[in-house]
Structure 1
C-alpha cells in the first residue's frame, strides 16, 4: 500500500523475504587508510574506484560501539560501488560535534580520492551522522544522497523517549548514550549546552534544496520510531527539498537488520543507483 503525503513520500510496504537477490561476484578484501590522527579515524575501501560511484557507510552502535559492516560493504562493492566503510570517534572518545567533524573530514578524504561527492548510507547512530552530514551547511555539495536505516535523527527525542515509563530497554540505553554524546543532561542544560542538543537534531540544519536527497527507513515496531524521519523529511520538504522519502517496513528490525530482507536490500540498491 502506498500513500503520498503533501510534504513527503511515505511508503508502507510488505516485501517478501523470498525475493531474489541479485547475484554478483565477491570482491577482493578491503584496504584501510587513515583520514586523521585518531585510531578510529580510518576508512576501509572495497572495490575498484575507477568509473564507480562512491558509497560511504557509517556504522551504528549508539555512538559508543563499533559494529562490523564489512560483509555489507562487500555486498555493495560487488554490485558496482566503491565502498568507503568509515569509522569515527565514539562518544567515549570525544563529545559532539567530534563525530560530525570526523564524518565531514572523511567526506573530504573520499572526494579527494574519488573526485566527486559520495552517496552515504548510515545505520541507527550512523544514520544520525549521515543525515546530519547531508543537512549541515550546503549538504548537497559534499553528499550526493543519503540512505538512513533507523536514523536517530533527533537524539533529543531519543532522550525523551528513553525517559518514559513504558520505555524499552534499548530506548533507555539510547537515552544514556545520547547524554554521553552531548556531554550534559538537557533538562539541566542552559546556554552553550542546550545549543549543543539543538545542534544534534538534524532538522535544525534543514535547508531544503541545498541539502542531500533522503531515503529514510524504519520498521513499524522500531525502537527508534519513524517520527525521527518524518519530522526531518517534513522540515526538509518545507525548506524546499523535493527528494525526501520515508519508508516503513513491517516488523521489528532495526538499522542494518533491515537489509536482511532481500526485497528491501534491492530497493536500497535501486535508490542508490538512481542517485549515483
Structure 2
C-alpha cells in the first residue's frame, strides 16, 4: 500500500526551507515531527502523529491522556510548552494527529478515530481522554466529540472555534469538506459544530474554556458563549466553566497558556477517564472562585526567571485590587506554591504569590529587589490582567513578613521608573530589627560561631554584629517614616522564633510618626499555626485591606 505524501518543512537557515515527504523523513531517519517535549512521533495511515509521554515512573495502565488539536507542523508550539509539561508531570500523556487544515471535516474525524483506536486498542490508553483544542483545534475536537460523546471525559479549550462561519469562513472551509461554499452553507446543520453542541450539553460533557472578550479572529459570542448558552438551556450549566479575560483577543497572552485552572481541569478529567480520582493541585481553589495563572515570569537573573502565581477572582470584569503574598522560610526555604492569602479572591482581590531568591542563590539585597520587581511587574501588567495598579497591598509571614514590612518602609531606589510602593502592609510575625534578633546576638548560650551561622548572617553575608549599618538597612524598624503605608501587624504571644517585641517596637515606631498601625496579638499562638487561620483573623485582615485598598478608591 502506498502511503499518502505529507510534507515536512525543516528550517535550516533564515528564510530557507527544505521540504521532505514523510516517507523521505523515515528513510533519512529524521523525526516525523519536532516535539516541544520528549515523546515519540510516528506515521499513522500516512499522517504524522505524536505522543508526549510522562516519565516511566508516572505511566499507568490504562494511561490517562489528552487528545490535542490542532496538530500541524508548528503545533503544539513553545507557547504551549509549560501547559503540556504540567500535564505529563501529572502522569497524563498528550497525543495528536496532523490532518492538515481539515477544520473538523469528516476526514479529520476519521483520523482522530484511527488515533483513538491505535492508542486505546494497542497501547493501553484509557477509553475516555480529555480533549484539548486551541483556536481552530476547537473545530477538530468538538466535531469528534459530538459524534463520540461516550468516549470523551471532558473538553478544554483556549479561544476555541465552534462555528465554521466565523473561522475560517465557509469559502476556506468548504474544500476540506469536499463541498462548495454554497453546498457547505446548506449543510451546516450537519457539519457546523455549533449547530450540534446540544449533543454535548445533553450528555453533560464537562467543558472548561478560556476565551478573551475582545477576540476578533474567533469571536467569543458566536463560539464559546453560544456553547455556554446551549449548556444553560439544556440545564447543564454546572458542567461548563467559561473564563473570559477582559481586554484579551486572539493572541499569545501568557494567561492563556499558563492557566493552571484549565490545566487542573484537563488533568482531572483525563484521570477520571482512566478510572482514577481527580488530582487537585497544591494551592488550587474551587474553579468557580478563582482562575489561577501559574509560573508567570516577573523578572530574571542571569537567564533564570523569577516566577509568581496569580489568583484572579472568577467571572470578574476588573480591574481589582491586588495583595501580594511573600512566603517565609528564614530566607532560605519556602516557595510560592502554597499561598495562605488565596482566599481573598472570594472577596474581590487578585492575589500574587511570588518566589524570590533564597540565600543559597543570592544575599541581601537580592530578596527585597525581587519583591520590588514583582510589584513593578504587577503595575506594568495591570491592564493585561485587569489589576488596579493604584491599590496594591503586601502580606507576608516570618521572613516574608520581614520583606513585606520593608516594602512598606524602605525608600524607593533613585530613578525608579515604575513605582514599587505598596498601599497597605500586613506583617505576620516578621523580624523588624535584625540587630536584636536573638540568633544574631552573642549570649544566652550562643557563641560567635553560632551567630555566624544564623539565618540573618546567611541573608546579609556576614555575622550581623559585624555589619550593623547593613543590618539596619535590612530592618524595617530603622526605615520607618511618616509617609509609610498603613500596617496591620499580627504576632503570636508565645512565638519562640521571632520575639513578640520585634512587632511591638515596629508598631510603636510607626504610630510615633503618625502611620496608621494596628498590632493584633494572637494569644497562645506560636510562630504561625492554626491560630492564624481562624475566621476572626481572616475577617480582621479582610477589613484592613478593604479599608485601604477598596474604600480609598475614588
Q: Same fold (TM over 0.5)?
A: yes
Q: CA deviation at 1:30?
A: 3.0
Alignment of 1:1-276 (within 5 A): 25-38=288-301, 39=304, 41-48=306-313, 50-67=318-335, 70-114=338-382, 115-137=389-411, 142-160=421-439, 163-165=442-444, 176-187=454-465, 189=466, 193-208=467-482, 210-223=483-496, 224-241=498-515, 243-255=516-528, 257-276=530-549
Cα distance change on mapping 1:207 and 1:117 into 2, 3 Å: same
Match of 2:347, SS state, is coil
What per-residue deviation string (whole Å, max 9, x for no partner) do you get for residues 42-71 of structure 1? Answer: 111011482311110000000000145535
Residues of 2 paired with 1:184 and 1:257: CA distance?
Answer: 35
5+ unaligned residues in a row in structure 1: which ranges? 1-22
5+ unaligned residues in a row in structure 2: which ranges? 1-285, 383-388, 414-418, 550-554
Match of 1:36, SS state, is strand
Residues of 1 paired with 2:406 and 2:453: CA distance?
Answer: 19
The alignment covers a number of residue pairs equal to 244
Residues of 1 paired with 2:451 and 2:462: CA distance?
Answer: 15
- Over aligned residues, Cα RMSD in angstroms? 2.8
What per-residue deviation string (whole Å, max 9, x for no partner) do you get for residues 134-163 of structure 1? Answer: 001169971110001111112222245775
Residues of 2 paired with 1:262 and 1:93: CA distance?
Answer: 37
The answer to whether the Cα contact below 8 Å between 2:405 and 2:425 also exists between their aligned partners in 1 is yes
Cα distance change on mapping 1:74 and 1:236 into 2, 3 Å: closer
The answer to whether the Cα contact below 8 Å between 2:357 and 2:367 also exists between their aligned partners in 1 is yes
Higher Cα radius of gyration? 2
Say which structure, 1 or 2, has more relative contact order (CA 8 Å, 6+ apart).
Answer: 1
Q: CA deviation at 1:127?
A: 0.3
TM-score after normalising by structure 2? 0.41
Cα distance change on mapping 1:40 and 1:230 into 2, 3 Å: farther
Cα distance change on mapping 1:72 and 1:40 into 2, 3 Å: farther
The answer to whether the Cα contact below 8 Å between 1:56 and 1:86 also exists between their aligned partners in 2 is yes
The answer to whether the Cα contact below 8 Å between 2:328 and 2:334 also exists between their aligned partners in 1 is yes
What per-residue deviation string (whole Å, max 9, x for no partner) do you get for residues 159-189 of structure 1? Answer: 457755378xxxx8997111100111133x2
